[in-house]
Amino acid sequence: MFDKIYIGNDHGGYTVKVLLLKYLEEKGVAAEDMGCESTKIVRYPYYAEKVAKNVIQNAGSGGILICSTGIGMSIIANKFKGIRASLCTDGYMAKMTRRHNNSNVLCLGGKITGEFEIYDTVENWLNSEYEGGRHDISLGLIKDMEERL
């Protein structure tokens, strides 16, 4: 489990963010809202940058990014060294990306994934732990590539 979750969203993810903040509060999960405050059109890279930088700077933290599809947020978040952002559309994907990829940022599609599936996805992501072992090899390769780029 993460010590704190930073949540960022653009206009396409605003409604889901509001629901998730309430959901996380009810679950006792510390969360900080770093997203936009309405459905007025904004540019998602600014919010992805805020979340990614906070996840990098605060050991033990994680991030959740929400746009209409989750695609744009995942693209920009993965530009940051040390971020392993995963676009997930269901609970199984979320569980496996934590277990095998040690994902530290979950990307969600606010307009493509239903409310209950969002809750299941977040729940699985939050409550799954990295398995290590053979997966360390791949994460080591990712880290080496980040250093070379």
The whole-angstrom separation of Cα 47 and Cα 111 is: 17
pLDDT tens readout for residues 78-129:
999 999 999 999 999 999 999 999 999 999 999 999 999 999 999 999 999 9
Catalytic site includes residue 67: yes
71 CA to centre of own chain: 12
Residues listed for the chain: 149
**Is the model's pLDDT at 36 over the cut of 90?**
yes
Q: What percent of the chain has pLDDT over 70?
A: 100
Average pLDDT over residues 50-67: 98
Question: What pLDDT sits at residue 52?
Answer: 98
Strands (E), 1-149: 4-9, 31-33, 61-67, 85-87, 105-109
Average pLDDT over residues 131-143: 96
**Is the model's pLDDT at 1 over the cut of 90?**
no
Name the pLDDT band for 149 (thresholds 50, 70, 90): confident
Residues 6+ apart with CB under 8 A from 45: 72, 76
Catalytic site includes residue 107: no
Of the listed 67, 88, 107, 135, which one is catalytic?
Answer: 67
Name the pLDDT band for 34 (thresholds 50, 70, 90): very high
Domains of the chain: 4-148 (3.40.1400.10)
Contact 140, 146 (CB under 8 A): no
Of the listed 11, 36, 88, 100, which one is catalytic?
Answer: 100
What is the rounded average pLDDT for all residues in the chain? 97
The whole-angstrom separation of Cα 24 and Cα 91 is: 16
